[in-house]
């Protein structure tokens, strides 16, 4: 595509579509006057919240005293283009290609300049690579979507839809969250080290798979094979202590997998486990992987498990030692990823150092709690003191809820370590504080 011949058409389309004002830049246009017109249109939109006419732009240049920079005939020539002679889809694709291509070109130049001006050694090679990737990613992370929001005064917008809420598989969690997990949401399970956070995340994944949802597990600590073993014990009913020997017989595993139907209607969802090196994977890395899998396999994930947030890489500021900002930004990015892709994301976090009360947790127990609590849609505390451990029990407590209901409610769960299953007795009432 020869963009030079299309620039006037692209600019006319941008001047009629506010969606592109933030993504289109002055320097993209070879014709400098086009860049000046774009900037003037942006300023007009920011001030009046409407796109300017040609006469309004001409007047704006006069008022700024720079009408000599842009001839009014150039402005009128752009506005004289009749967009109705072009297909809407062609206009959209051409404009977005133009923006993406120009951003890619600029980021490639910037990245090359950085590499050429930066001494590289074994000591800083990882930092250089991260910076190089960020130069590319930040500029090319473009969103062309435009959602004007809900008009309060339209009655149909007052309907409270529930189709994006689905059961977690645990009545207590569903109750305190007002129906279960939601799409476009982030949930965090907090616990002390070695308390069983991965066990809980694995059980949430298993419950989702049982009900036919597609699930992805991103493991940053446990190996993918170990996750398979735990989930195999849970889903296939093979004791974890004999799993290694049983799994050597592919025919047994094949038979077990073929029998995974839980009623006559439902079939298990897809379940993919991806291992990333500890502290090496960012939200961007995970999102690129997951969206690629969705494209290749032709599926749509419902639940994404990230195990766990504290050992993720903060791509925005990879070298910062500010743990508060790290956790806050990663949580924000995870929730953004959930919203962009219509996923329900579930992750875990450690309690802060020095918080050794095994019998109870609060939101203040979370490392960098304020940054997390302000971002998540729901936060649960996983509690297990020595007596509970001996009785094979957990206490699960709701610590934060975007809907602000059932605060500090809790319930006791049983755990069968042989099959790595966590169960809830629905006959036992939950407790509220």
What's the pLDDT score for residue 322? Answer: 63
Average pLDDT, the chain: 83
CA-based end-to-end distance of the chain: 65
Return the pLDDT at 369. 55
Most confident of 3-7, 50-54, 420-424: 420-424
Q: What average pLDDT does this structure show over 174-192?
A: 91
Band of residue 367 on the pLDDT scale cut at 50, 70, 90 = low
Percentage above 90 pLDDT, the chain? 24
Categorize the per-residue pLDDT at 433 as very low, low, confident or very high, splitting at 50, 70 and 90. low
Each as own residue / partner, the long-range contacts of residues 126-135 (CB below 8 Å, 24 or more positions apart, any chain) are 127/318, 127/319, 130/315, 130/318, 130/319, 131/318, 133/315, 134/315, 134/316, 134/318, 135/107, 135/110, 135/111
pLDDT at residue 273 greater than cutoff 80 = yes
pLDDT at 143: 60
Mean predicted confidence (pLDDT) in 321-342: 83
| Per-residue pLDDT reduced to its tens digit, 11-59 | 999 888 887 887 888 888 888 888 889 998 888 888 888 888 988 888 8
Q: Map the chain to HEC letters.
A: CCHHHCHHHHHHHHHHCHHHCCCCCHHHCCCHHHHHHHHHHHHHHHHHCCCCCHHHHHHHHHHHCCCCCCCHHHHHHHHCCCHHHCCHHHHHHHHHHHHHHHHHHHHHHHHHHHHHHCCCCCCCHHHHHHHHHHHHHHHHCCCCCCCCCCCCCCHHHHCCCCCCEECCCCHHHHHHCCCCEECCEEEEEEECCCCCHHHHHHHHHHHHHHCCCCEEEEECCCCHHHHHHHHHHHHHCCCHHHHHHHHCCHHHHHHHHHCCCCCCCCCCCCEEEEECCCCCCCHHHHHHHHHHHHHHHCCCCCEEEEECHHHCCCCCCCCCCCHHHHHHHHHHHHHHHHHHHCCEEEEEEEECCCCCCCCCCCHHHECCHHHHHCCCCEEEEEECCHHHHHCCEEEEEEEEECCCCCCCCEEEEEEECCCCEEECCCCCCCECC
Going from N- to C-terminal start, the domains of the chain cover 3-140, 165-423
pLDDT digits (tens, 9 = 90+) for 111-163: 888 888 888 888 788 778 877 777 776 666 666 655 566 666 677 766 665 55
Per-residue pLDDT for 166 more than 70?
yes
Check: pTM over 0.75? Answer yes or no. no
Mean pLDDT of 329-358: 83
Q: Is the CATH number of domain 165-423 3.40.50.720?
A: no
Cα atoms found within 13 Å of the Cα of residue 304, Cβ hemisphere only: 28
Q: What is the mean pLDDT of residues 203-231?
A: 91
Residue 214 — very low, low, confident or very high, per pLDDT cuts 50/70/90?
very high
* pLDDT for the residue numbered 382: 92
Distances (CA, A) of 105 to 4, 5, 32, 35, 100: 15, 18, 18, 17, 9
Which tens digit of pLDDT belongs to each residue from 47-103? 888 888 988 888 888 887 665 667 788 888 889 998 889 888 888 888 888 888 888
Confidence bin at 192 (pLDDT 50/70/90): confident
* pLDDT at 262 > cutoff 80: no
Predicted confidence (pLDDT) at residue 303 exceeds the cutoff of 90 = yes
pLDDT on residue 199: 95
Superfamily classification of domain 3-140 = DNAb Helicase; Chain A (1.10.860.10)
Q: Using CA of residue 92, residue 94, residue 97, residue 102, what is the dihedral sign?
A: negative
Please tell me the predicted confidence (pLDDT) of residue 404: 65
The predicted structure's pLDDT at residue 355: 54
What's the pLDDT at 370? Answer: 60
pLDDT of residue 189: 94
Compute the average pLDDT of residues 300-313.
Answer: 90
């Amino acid at each position: 595509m020869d963009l030079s011949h299309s620039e006037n058409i692209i600019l006319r389309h941008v001047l009629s579509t506010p969606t592109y004002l933030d993504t289109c830049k002055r320097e993209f246009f070879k014709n400098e006057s086009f860049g000046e017109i774009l900037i003037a249109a942006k300023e007009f939109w920011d001030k009046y919240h409407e796109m300017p006419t040609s006469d309004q732009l001409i007047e704006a240049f006069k008022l700024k005293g720079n009408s000599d920079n842009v001839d009014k005939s150039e402005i009128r020539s752009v506005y004289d283009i009749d967009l109705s002679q072009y297909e809407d889809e062609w206009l959209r694709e051409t404009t977005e290609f133009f923006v993406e291509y120009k951003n890619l070109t600029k980021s490639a130049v910037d990245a090359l300049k950085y590499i050429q001006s930066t001494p590289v050694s074994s000591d800083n090679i990882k930092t250089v690579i991260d910076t190089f990737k960020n130069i590319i990613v930040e500029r090319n992370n473009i969103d062309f979507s435009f959602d004007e929001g809900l008009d309060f005064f339209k009655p149909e917008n007052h309907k409270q839809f529930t189709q994006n809420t689905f059961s977690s598989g645990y009545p207590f969690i569903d109750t305190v969250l007002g129906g279960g997990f939601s799409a476009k949401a982030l949930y965090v399970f907090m616990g002390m080290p070695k308390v069983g956070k991965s066990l809980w995340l694995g059980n949430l994944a298993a419950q989702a798979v049982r009900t036919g949802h597609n699930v992805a597990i991103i493991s940053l600590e446990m190996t993918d094979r170990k996750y398979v073993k735990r989930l195999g014990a849970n889903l296939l009913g093979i004791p974890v202590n004999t799993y290694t020997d049983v799994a050597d017989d592919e025919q047994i595993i094949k038979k077990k997998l073929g029998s995974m139907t839980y009623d006559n209607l439902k079939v298990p969802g897809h379940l993919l486990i991806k291992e990333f090196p500890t502290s090496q994977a960012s939200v961007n890395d995970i999102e690129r992987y997951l969206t690629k899998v969705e494209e290749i396999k032709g599926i749509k994930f419902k639940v994404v498990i990230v195990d766990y947030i504290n050992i993720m890489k903060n791509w925005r500021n990879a070298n910062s030692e500010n743990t508060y900002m790290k956790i806050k930004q990663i949580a924000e990015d995870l929730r953004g990823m959930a919203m962009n892709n219509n996923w329900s994301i579930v992750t875990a976090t450690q309690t802060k150092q020095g918080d050794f009360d095994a019998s109870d947790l609060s939101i203040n127990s979370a490392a960098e709690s304020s940054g997390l609590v302000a971002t998540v849609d729901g936060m649960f505390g996983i509690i297990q003191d020595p007596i509970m451990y001996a009785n094979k029990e957990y206490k699960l407590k709701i610590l934060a809820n975007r809907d602000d209901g059932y605060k500090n409610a809790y319930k006791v769960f049983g755990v069968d370590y042989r099959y790595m299953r966590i169960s809830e007795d629905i006959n036992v009432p939950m407790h509220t504080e």
